[in-house]
């Protein structure tokens, strides 16, 4: 048996958050001097695993052992030499650069170094990383995001870690900066550090990883070593299942659909200042998928289309109106324009304190049944019963709290609510998050019906296989702009994943055919 | 004369700095509690030696704050609710201990407040406490409190001892409240069960006026001191005008107005940056 | 996948609310039983009438607090507005303003203060408590200055209180021959209106929507700002009414009449089971909370506890009750 006290061991860990299982019996071993990559699709449990090693999340069962010890919180993990760079750029915006970089180095009573030394180290480090002079006393809020990202990285490297965890740490860095980060990682590897990388950039990890563990739905499905790590293997391991679904998709492919007038069009759209502009059109009868890796701008695009936020440049018009007005109209009167359904039910969907019936009817109080006066219960009840039947929502008693329903049924209530508003366009933001397959299938069928009756659907999902069942085309976003449009004839795990990861296009399709122009 | 207010403002400062929207609403009643119990329990029973008194007031302030901190950290009730109940509880208890202004301060303290010269013992005490604050604000410990307040999630994730920092902030607050109570007792020379309560609002006003954000993590003790002096001066200037019977109300009006206005200015400035 | 989630499956509707109300009513009965056993004269005719009267004052004052709490706000200006309207009304009457316009002026003043509270605390999110506290203090200072013009007694306003106002809030007051003080009837009427509006109109339900999930509420186009300001305006109006009613009760203007309502309104709301974080509870619960507090006070008084001691007891009650309903999430779950 190896000497396990010199390694990082994850032994059969499981973790649930409410209804969803994040990790289910995962095990892996990370040896010193090894760069160990953890890959998987969105929601496969990678980040949870990384947080578990750094002590932020505690496993429900199983054990994490770092050189023979199990840290119970980040403070203990830090004492064992663990440093983690989180996906979110965790900085205290109101404090100075030096305070941020040295956060956690001092104990409550003892300073690890004098302020003067800290300032000098801070200046040197940032100069090495960013190749610019940064005053250690600058308030972090006033620095660009890329520098903030370096602050977070510098904080981790400064601790001379024995275990370094990087969770999507290069997301905010450009290519040149990533190369510098890789140099640092290699240097640490030489010195015998255990390095764990969670990343979406497959090309990147192929270059630097010694070992790669593939996660799917919270389970370890495959592990590659050294030269075995290549892009196609990783991609296929990440998405190996779903043969059944693909077969089904072929049967239900949306061929020869009649497409109506343009209902939503965007010109010169700029999601974020400086991001490439693009145009986009949505027609009645169409279902358009929207996807991309975390933070690539697809979510922002959806919100802009729904009129929830303004783009930094360009215009969006819905049925000839500005998108933001159109959203107002949607709830002011029925049958006019846009309804929005969020997959983030807890944050912007349900009212956890209200009943199923009220969650359904709240926006309808004002639209169809008069804003003032009494709530007209009878027509609402009819609409409710109608949608319950149509979407086959499993409700207990309608006056039960919405939280008594499973996630899938909560989502159906929200979709029913959107349909009952009789919009022309439904914008759905990852509505199938945490919803089982049967429910998804029903949802697709209903949206298809809605489109066939002249509605238009924008459907965001990060699980690409969702689109196979019913989308007419899929917009893939990258770097805060539209990267590629994939028509349904070309749908496959491979083409979509390749687009998401920014692979060059092999299928040589013609953008013009899809009715959009890349700026 | 401004000593109790300055010290009370300094007492609220570390708790606000430590974040989570924690504002110690009970600072006034706690000050009052120490004042009345000092007069009633210690002096009336002849335990009035300086060491005894100082040991008692510090212990009372610190113990109370430790209980409050423990509830905030482990029961996870919003700090403002906890200190609100503390306010209610203590202001009730104060009246139970002493139902009306009465009693005398310890003998050795009596001449403190009566002196006309600025260089009274209260003043020296204040200087010592401000010195202590300056020392405290340079410790690494103070920095951990600020880190916790500026972004508690960041601090936690990077291994800052946030529970320790929060406990520490409350303990320091307890010490300063104790000092404020001593200064207050010296100034009025007796016990008063209700006047202490007014220090809650003026201390918070001083803090906000001094530029400390109620959201935590930014600001500092120096601002609170200046804020407290400002409020004292405003009150003083107002009292030189002859408002006659209404002078107390003018003070109330100005304290309230200054608080709301400085909150507004603070939030506007934060937004602009 | 066809059944509601097992862990929470098939719970009856509005579980928390109904549990709280059941708990509250049980507490009410227990307290009444204890009081009638321990305190001689508790069940006497006069005592019940005076308790009803006190409950009416507290109940009206807590109405606005409930609306604010439903949104996750809090109104600490209530005692000050009560005190201010109390002395303002007395002064207005002294200055010869007819009673009806005088009452309207005071009521309008209360609404204006409430709106101001709402506007400022909406702008300064999360600091409602401090903002309303500060504003209340400024208001009470200002109104005392106004009322003490040409008077030697600042803070108290002596003068003739019209008999109808005395009758409104007198223990011996009757309404249409019924032996119930009219202010209690006003309270009951207000309660019926509020409970109905809150449960049966889109307007009322908006409060629950905003309190339950602000973001989701804005997605269905409920204006958080509008509801927020209205809640504070209601609170201002109710405080003004309480202040005026208390003038009838005491017969003379005194700015300190509001003092006890600083915390009893919060306590009534919390004991009734309305969460201070918003969304849960409502005025129905607060009525139970009001009655519990009134009977508890009567019991404590009967047992010989001073006002100060009662305050201490209420202070001790709040933390455990809040801890029971609403605790913040752990930091681990927020990263």
Residue C314, judged by CB atoms within 10 A of its CB (0-12, 13-18, 19+), counts as buried
Task: List all residues of chain C from 293 to 312 with a beta carbon under 8 Å from chain B.
Answer: 306-312
- The Cβ of residue C105 has, within 10 Å, a number of other Cβ atoms equal to 16
List of chain C residues whose C-beta atoms are within 8 Å of the C-beta of residue B204: 130
Q: What pLDDT is recorded for position A198?
A: 87
The mean of the pLDDT values for chain C is 83
Residues belonging to chain C: 335
Nearest CA to A367 out of A336, A340, A402, A389 is that of: A336
Give the pairing type, strands A34-39 and A287-292. Answer: unpaired
Q: What pLDDT is recorded for position B8?
A: 94
Greatest mean pLDDT among A111-125, A315-329, B154-168, C30-44 = B154-168
- What are C4-14's pLDDT values in tens digits? 333 333 333 34
Indicate which of A354, A436, A440 best probes the interface with C, i.e. most C CBs within 10 Å of its own CB: A354
Same fold, A4-238 and A259-337+424-457+467-519: yes
Say which CATH topology domain A259-337+424-457+467-519 has.
Answer: Rossmann fold (3.40.50)
- Does the distance separating the beta carbons of A405 and C5 come in below 8 Å? yes
Q: Is residue C332 part of a domain?
A: no
Mean pLDDT of C54-61: 94
Q: What pLDDT is recorded for position A318?
A: 79
Q: Is residue C232 part of a domain?
A: yes
Q: How far apart are CA C289 and CA A229, in angstroms?
A: 66
- Does the distance separating the beta carbons of C279 and A352 come in below 8 Å? yes
Would an 8 Å CB–CB cutoff place A137 in contact with chain B?
no
For Cα atoms B176, B180, B182, give the angle at the middle one, nearest 5 degrees.
Answer: 115
Contacts of A233 (CB under 8 A, 6+ apart): A224
Would an 8 Å CB–CB cutoff place B104 in contact with chain C?
no
> For A437, which residue in chain C has the nearest alpha carbon?
C1
- The Cβ of residue C32 has, within 10 Å, a number of other Cβ atoms equal to 17
Q: What pLDDT is recorded for position A42?
A: 65
The residues of chain A scoring below 70 in pLDDT are 1-4, 18-20, 42-43, 170-175, 239-258, 294, 321-336, 366-372, 433-437, 504-519
Q: What pLDDT is recorded for position B112?
A: 66
Domain count, chain C: 1
Q: What pLDDT is recorded for position A512?
A: 39
Task: List all residues of chain A from 359 to 378 with a beta carbon under 8 Å from chain B.
Answer: none
Nearest CA to A419 out of A386, A452, A441 is that of: A386
Mean pLDDT of B68-85: 88
Would an 8 Å CB–CB cutoff place C327 in contact with chain B?
yes
CATH of A4-238, one of 3.40.50.920, 3.40.50.720, 3.90.1640.10, 3.40.50.300: 3.40.50.300
Shortest Cα–Cα distance, A205 to chain B (Å) = 25
Contacts of A441 (CB under 8 A, 6+ apart): A469
Q: What pLDDT is recorded for position C314?
A: 82
- Does the distance separating the beta carbons of C306 and B96 come in below 8 Å? yes
Q: What pLDDT is recorded for position C216?
A: 86
- The ranges assigned to domains in chain A are 4-238, 259-337+424-457+467-519
Would an 8 Å CB–CB cutoff place A94 in contact with chain B?
yes
- Does the distance separating the beta carbons of A399 and C13 come in below 8 Å? yes
- How many Cβ pairs within 8 Å bridge chains A and C? 113
- What are B6-63's pLDDT values in tens digits? 999 999 999 999 988 778 889 999 999 999 999 888 888 888 788 889 999 999 999 9
Residue B190's pLDDT band, with cuts at 50, 70 and 90, is confident
- Does the distance separating the beta carbons of A403 and C332 come in below 8 Å? no
Q: Which chains touch B (3 or more CB pairs under 8 A)?
A: A, C
Nearest to C123 among B153, B205, B267 (CB): B267
At residue B259, does pLDDT exceed 60? yes
Q: How far apart are CA C325 and CA C277, in angstroms?
A: 10
Nearest to A401 among C1, C13, C208 (CB): C13
Shortest Cα–Cα distance, A356 to chain C (Å) = 9
Q: Is residue C283 part of a domain?
A: yes
Q: Can you give the CATH number for the domain in which C93 is found?
A: 1.10.3470
Contacts of C146 (CB under 8 A, 6+ apart): C88, C91
- What are B195-230's pLDDT values in tens digits? 888 898 889 888 988 888 887 888 888 889 988 988
Shortest Cα–Cα distance, B76 to chain C (Å) = 5
Say which CATH topology domain B3-272 has.
Answer: ABC transporter involved in vitamin B12 uptake, BtuC (1.10.3470)
Nearest CA to A184 out of A35, A68, A338 is that of: A35
List of chain A residues whose C-beta atoms are within 8 Å of the C-beta of residue B141: 108-109
Task: List all residues of chain B from 140 to 199 with a beta carbon under 8 Å from chain C.
Answer: 152-153, 156-157, 162, 193
- Does the distance separating the beta carbons of C153 and B81 come in below 8 Å? no
Q: How far apart are CA A322 and CA A338, in angstroms?
A: 11
List of chain C residues whose C-beta atoms are within 8 Å of the C-beta of residue B21: 126-127
- Does the distance separating the beta carbons of A374 and C201 come in below 8 Å? yes
Q: How far apart are CA B108 and CA B48, in angstroms?
A: 9
Q: Is residue C7 part of a domain?
A: no
- Which range marks the domain in which residue C108 is found? 15-23+42-322
> For A307, which residue in chain C has the nearest alpha carbon?
C219
Would an 8 Å CB–CB cutoff place B110 in contact with chain C?
no
Residues belonging to chain B: 273
Q: What pLDDT is recorded for position C65?
A: 94
Q: What pLDDT is recorded for position C79?
A: 93
Nearest to A400 among C11, C216, C279 (CB): C11
Q: Which chains touch C (3 or more CB pairs under 8 A)?
A: A, B
Q: Report DSSP state, residue A464.
A: T
- Does the distance separating the beta carbons of B150 and A108 come in below 8 Å? no
Shortest Cα–Cα distance, C332 to chain A (Å) = 6
- Does the distance separating the beta carbons of B157 and A84 come in below 8 Å? yes
> What is the ipTM score, two decimals?
0.82
């Amino acid at each position: 048996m190896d000497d396990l006290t010199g390694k990082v061991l994850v032994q059969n860990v499981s973790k649930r958050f409410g209804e969803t299982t994040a990790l289910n019996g995962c095990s892996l071993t990370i040896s010193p001097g090894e760069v160990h990559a953890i890959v998987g699709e969105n929601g496969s449990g990678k980040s949870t695993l990384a947080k578990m090693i750094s002590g932020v999340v505690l496993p429900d069962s199983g054990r994490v052992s770092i050189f023979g010890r199990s840290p119970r919180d980040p403070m203990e993990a830090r004492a064992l030499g663990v440093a983690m760079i989180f996906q979110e750029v965790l900085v205290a915006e109101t404090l100075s650069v030096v305070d941020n970089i040295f956060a956690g180095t001092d104990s409550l009573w003892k300073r690890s170094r004098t302020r003067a030394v800290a300032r000098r180290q801070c200046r040197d480090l940032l100069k090495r990383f960013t190749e610019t002079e940064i005053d250690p006393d600058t308030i972090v809020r006033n620095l660009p995001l890329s520098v903030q990202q370096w602050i977070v990285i510098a904080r981790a490297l400064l601790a001379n870690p024995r275990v370094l965890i990087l969770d999507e740490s290069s997301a905010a860095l450009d290519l040149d900066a990533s190369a510098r980060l890789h140099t640092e990682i290699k240097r640490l590897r030489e010195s015998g550090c255990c390095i764990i990388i969670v990343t979406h950039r497959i090309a990147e990890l192929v270059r630097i990883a010694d070992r790669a563990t593939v996660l799917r739905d919270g389970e370890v499905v495959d592990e590659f070593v050294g030269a075995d790590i290549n892009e196609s293997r990783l991609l296929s391991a990440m998405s190996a299942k779903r043969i059944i679904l693909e077969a089904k998709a072929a049967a239900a492919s949306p061929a020869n659909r009649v497409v109506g007038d343009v209902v939503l069009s965007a010109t010169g759209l700029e999601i974020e200042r400086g991001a490439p502009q693009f145009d986009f059109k949505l027609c009645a009868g169409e279902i358009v998928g929207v996807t991309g890796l975390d933070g690539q701008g697809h979510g922002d695009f959806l919100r802009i289309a729904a009129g929830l936020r303004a783009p930094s440049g360009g215009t969006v018009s819905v049925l000839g109106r500005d998108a933001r007005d159109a959203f107002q109209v949607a709830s002011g009167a029925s049958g006019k324009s846009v309804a929005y359904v969020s997959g983030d039910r807890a944050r912007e969907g349900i009212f956890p304190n209200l009943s199923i019936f009220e969650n359904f009817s709240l926006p309808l109080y004002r639209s169809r049944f008069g804003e003032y006066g009494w709530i007209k219960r009878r027509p609402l009840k009819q609409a409710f019963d109608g949608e319950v039947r149509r979407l086959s929502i499993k409700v207990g008693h309608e006056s039960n709290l919405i939280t008594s329903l499973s996630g899938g049924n909560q989502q159906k209530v929200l979709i029913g609510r959107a349909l009952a508003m009789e919009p022309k366009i439904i914008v759905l933001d990852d509505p199938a998050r945490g919803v089982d397959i049967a429910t998804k299938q029903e949802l697709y069928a209903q949206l298809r019906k809605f489109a066939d009756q002249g509605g238009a659907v924008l459907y965001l999902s990060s699980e690409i296989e969702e689109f196979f069942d019913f989308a007419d085309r899929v917009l893939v976003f990258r770097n805060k702009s539209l990267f590629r449009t994939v028509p349904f004839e070309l749908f496959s795990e491979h083409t979509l994943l390749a687009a998401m990861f920014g692979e060059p296009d092999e299928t040589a399709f013609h953008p013009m055919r899809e009715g959009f122009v890349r700026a | 004369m401004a000593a109790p207010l300055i010290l009370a403002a300094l007492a609220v400062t570390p708790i606000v700095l430590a974040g989570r929207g924690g504002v110690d609403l009970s600072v006034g009643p706690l000050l009052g509690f120490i004042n009345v119990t000092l007069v009633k329990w210690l002096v009336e029973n002849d335990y009035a030696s300086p060491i005894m008194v100082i040991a008692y007031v510090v212990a009372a302030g610190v113990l109370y704050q430790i209980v409050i901190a423990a509830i905030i950290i482990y029961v996870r009730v919003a700090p403002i609710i906890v200190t609100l109940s503390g306010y209610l509880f203590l202001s009730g208890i104060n009246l139970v201990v002493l139902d009306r202004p009465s009693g005398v301060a310890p003998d050795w303290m009596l001449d403190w407040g009566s002196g006309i010269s600025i260089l009274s013992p209260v003043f020296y005490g204040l200087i010592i406490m401000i010195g202590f604050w300056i020392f405290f604000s340079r410790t690494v410990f103070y920095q951990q409190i600020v880190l916790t307040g500026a972004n508690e999630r960041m601090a936690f994730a990077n291994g800052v001892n946030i529970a320790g920092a929060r406990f520490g902030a409350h303990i320091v607050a307890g010490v300063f409240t104790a000092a404020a109570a001593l200064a207050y007792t010296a100034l009025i020379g007796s016990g008063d069960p209700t006047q202490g309560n007014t220090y809650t609002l003026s201390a918070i006003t001083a803090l906000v006026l001094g530029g400390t954000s109620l959201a935590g993590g930014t600001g500092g003790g120096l601002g609170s001191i200046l804020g407290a002096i400002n409020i004292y001066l405003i009150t003083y200037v107002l009292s030189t005008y002859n408002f006659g019977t209404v002078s107390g109300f003018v003070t109330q009006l100005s304290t309230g107005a200054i608080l709301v206005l400085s909150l507004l200015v603070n939030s506007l400035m934060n937004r602009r940056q | 996948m066809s059944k509601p989630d097992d862990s929470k499956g098939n719970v009856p509707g509005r579980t928390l609310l109904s549990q709280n109300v059941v708990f509250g009513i049980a507490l009410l009965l227990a307290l009444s039983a204890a009081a009638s056993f321990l305190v001689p004269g508790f069940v006497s005719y006069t005592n019940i009438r005076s308790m009803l009267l006190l409950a009416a004052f507290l109940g009206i004052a807590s109405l606005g607090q409930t609306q604010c709490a439903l949104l996750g706000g809090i109104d600490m200006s209530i005692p000050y507005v009560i005190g201010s309207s109390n002395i303002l009304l007395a002064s207005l009457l002294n200055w010869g303003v007819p009673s009806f316009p005088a009452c309207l002026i005071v009521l309008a003043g209360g609404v204006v203060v409430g709106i101001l509270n709402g506007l400022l605390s909406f702008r300064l999110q999360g600091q409602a408590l401090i903002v309303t506290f500060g504003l209340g203090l400024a208001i009470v200072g200002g109104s005392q200055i106004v009322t003490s013009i040409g008077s030697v007694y600042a803070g108290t306003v002596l003068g003739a209180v019209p008999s109808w106002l005395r009758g409104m809030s007198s223990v011996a007051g009757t309404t249409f021959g019924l032996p119930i003080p009219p202010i209690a009837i006003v309270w009951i009427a207000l309660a019926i209106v509020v409970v109905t509006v809150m449960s049966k109109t889109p307007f009322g339900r908006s409060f629950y929507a905003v309190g339950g999930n602000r973001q989701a509420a804005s997605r269905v186009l409920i204006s958080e700002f509008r509801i927020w300001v209205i809640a504070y305006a209601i609170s201002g109006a109710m405080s003004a009414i309480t202040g005026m009613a208390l003038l009838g009760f005491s017969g003379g203007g005194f700015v300190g009449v509001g003092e006890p309502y600083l915390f009893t309104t919060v306590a009534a709301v919390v004991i009734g089971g309305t969460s201070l974080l918003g969304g849960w509870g409502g005025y129905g619960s607060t009525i139970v909370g009001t009655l519990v507090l009134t009977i508890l006070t009567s019991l404590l008084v009967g047992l010989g506890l001073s006002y100060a001691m009662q305050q201490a007891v209420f202070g001790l009650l709040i933390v455990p009750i809040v801890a029971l309903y609403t605790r913040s999430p752990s930091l681990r779950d927020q990263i």
